[in-house]
Amino acid sequence: MSKHIVVIGSGFSGISAACALAKKGYRVTVVEKNECAGGRASFFKADGFMFDMGPSWYWMPDVFEWFFKEYGSSVAEQYDLIRLDPGYRIYFGKDEITDIPASISELHDLFEQLEPGSGKQLQQFLKDAETKYAIGMKDMVFKPCNSIMEFAELRMVKALFTMQLFTSLRKEVYSKFKNEKIRKILEFPVYFLGALPSNTPALYSILNYADLVLGTWYPQGGMYKIIEGMQRVAEKMGVTFMFNAPVTEIVTENNKTTGVKIDTHFIAADAVVAAADYHHVEEKLLSQPKKNYDENYWDKKVFAPSSIIFYLGIKGKVKNLLHHNLFFDQSFEQFADEIYTNPRWPANPLFYVSAPSKTDPSVAPDGDENLFILIPVAAGLEDTEQLREMYFDKVLERIEAFTGDTIANRIIYKRSFAPKDFVTRYNAYKGNAYGLANILMQTAIFKPKMRNKHIKNLIYAGQLTVPGPGVPPSLISGYVAAGEIEKALKN
Ligand SMILES: Cc1cc2nc3c(=O)[nH]c(=O)nc-3n(C[C@H](O)[C@H](O)[C@H](O)COP(=O)(O)OP(=O)(O)OC[C@H]3O[C@@H](n4cnc5c(N)ncnc54)[C@H](O)[C@@H]3O)c2cc1C
């Protein structure tokens, strides 16, 4: 009988770990607290609309290709993927619209229009970013980062310098580009996903490469199609999924786990992958001496934003929106201060609107619009119904003013999701949406470790450990965690 591994959590990292473990010949059971797979990428249907609850940007298509190929399938076999062109729209002000084209030559022309001479700089910036992306994907993101020794070969040391770990993204962008809009285009992925560009290593220009070169894609039917494809692949390899099954304890004996408990129901395991939020696992599922970190450690960590989200069904279409729309008409500096430096409720937030029904008629009733509004806010704030409504009114007013369309009287479905809901639905520490901020001291070997130092057959996976937040990194995290389980069971 092959060894049995329990995976806690069925987000991208959990299903990825399950697939990799099944391929290695283990019996695998994924135990999920919620009613369906996907974690932060789950979905719901209401009044003829289908809403993806979390991720909406499909970046780094190569990682999804790699994933499905690893298990004898392909993206094309699982879902119909299309490239968006333009990739997205930015509202810098009422009549200041910039659409980011898919074609590099059109992007070059756009940069030249915004800042004469910047096209050449863009070429160099993206070439450097491509080199970093290639090194990062080949040599770095698949490392478990247990020790600095993993980076000790000369080739790796050289690579660390090429990766510009010790230069900030801000310095890199500001030294090459003077135009405010260009600077915002290049800094927004870092702001939204993690931290101040002045604290973020220039390594993260790999996100600009992913954005501007590899492009923005969309799986027809919605982002949940990826999860459905992954679950299909996992089940085909024999993985069992249990839903509505919140783990309440990781059972340990000496320095080993023997399985998990869902209340009084015990599931025996030879090893456990904890792919639920790291802090929740340590605080709620393990007893004091078995934890890697204490509350003080987590309290000092810099978290990426949480979010206030609105899922809206609109009667009829909304003018002047594309599939992805960023509202960058307010100060980035103030936004950064309100999220990272002095966390508080934002006065005039930047926000994002996705309208997947612009590309995909299947996510809304005929002729209607499906809108997803996301306002990044600091993790750890106490949200109330009144605050949600106050922000709803603020952003709706801006959307109406900028698009020149009326929406308020055409809302036929509305649901909000805010920090409190992240805690209830995902057991998210401080209601975090995307894990830890991408600052140097929270990168690679400085991230919370995959291995539990007291229990050798317990391995963590997911956005709070290596390589980090986002869908592609979470997929990779599960894969790396499976490798760590194999090593632990051999020793
Ligand atoms: C609103 C939002 C928008 C985002 N947008 C993007 C985007 O556009 N592109 C992108 O690449 N990334 C995006 N991200 C980030 C990305 O979604 C996450 O990094 C990724 O989905 C995290 O996957 P995970 O497996 O680490 O965690 P999760 O998806 O959170 O999975 C953890 C799972 O563990 C389960 N769980 C928790 N406790 C228990 C327990 N006790 N027992 C059993 N199960 C438990 C949870 O229910 C959950 O299903 C977004 C995230 C959010 C929240």
CB 78 within 8 A of CB 229: yes
pLDDT at 109 over 80: yes
Establish whether residue 246 lines the binding site of ligand 1, counting it when its CB lies within 6 angstroms of any ligand atom. yes
What separation in Å is there between the alpha carbon of 462 and the centre of ligand 1? 8
Atom 22 of ligand 1: nearest residue by CA position: 463
How many whole angstroms separate alpha carbon 161 and alpha carbon 66? 27
Establish whether residue 307 lines the binding site of ligand 1, counting it when its CB lies within 6 angstroms of any ligand atom. yes
Q: What average pLDDT does the chain have?
A: 94
What separation in Å is there between the alpha carbon of 330 and the centre of ligand 1? 28
**pLDDT of 396-442, one tens digit each?**
999 999 999 999 999 999 999 999 999 999 999 999 998 998 777 88
H helical segments located in 101-212: 104-114, 118-135, 154-162, 169-176, 180-193, 206-208
H helical segments located in 237-378: 278-280, 295-300, 332-336
Q: Which two tokens stand for residue 128?
A: 């450097």
Establish whether residue 42 lines the binding site of ligand 1, counting it when its CB lies within 6 angstroms of any ligand atom. no
Query: The whole model's pTM is what?
Result: 0.97
What separation in Å is there between the alpha carbon of 10 and the centre of ligand 1? 9
How many whole angstroms separate alpha carbon 93 and alpha carbon 406? 18
What separation in Å is there between the alpha carbon of 37 and the centre of ligand 1? 10
H helical segments located in 378-459: 385-403, 419-426
What separation in Å is there between the alpha carbon of 425 and the centre of ligand 1? 10
Greater confidence, 137 or 99? 99
**pLDDT confidence band for 445 (50 / 70 / 90):** confident
Return the percent helix, strand and coil in the chain, to nearest 5.
45, 20, 35
Q: Which atom of ligand 1 is nearest to the CA of 37?
A: 49
How many whole angstroms separate alpha carbon 374 and alpha carbon 384? 16
- Ligand 1 pocket mutation pick from 12, 13, 40, 56 by most atoms within 8 angstroms of CB: 40
Establish whether residue 37 lines the binding site of ligand 1, counting it when its CB lies within 6 angstroms of any ligand atom. no
Q: Which atom of ligand 1 is nearest to the CA of 247?
A: 42
What separation in Å is there between the alpha carbon of 13 and the centre of ligand 1? 8
H helical segments located in 281-384: 295-300, 332-336
pLDDT at 481 over 80: yes
**pLDDT of 375-399, one tens digit each?**
999 999 999 999 999 999 999 999 9
The residue-averaged pLDDT of 263-281 equals 98
pLDDT at 306 over 80: yes
Do you find a cis peptide bond into 219, omega within 30 degrees of 0?
A: no
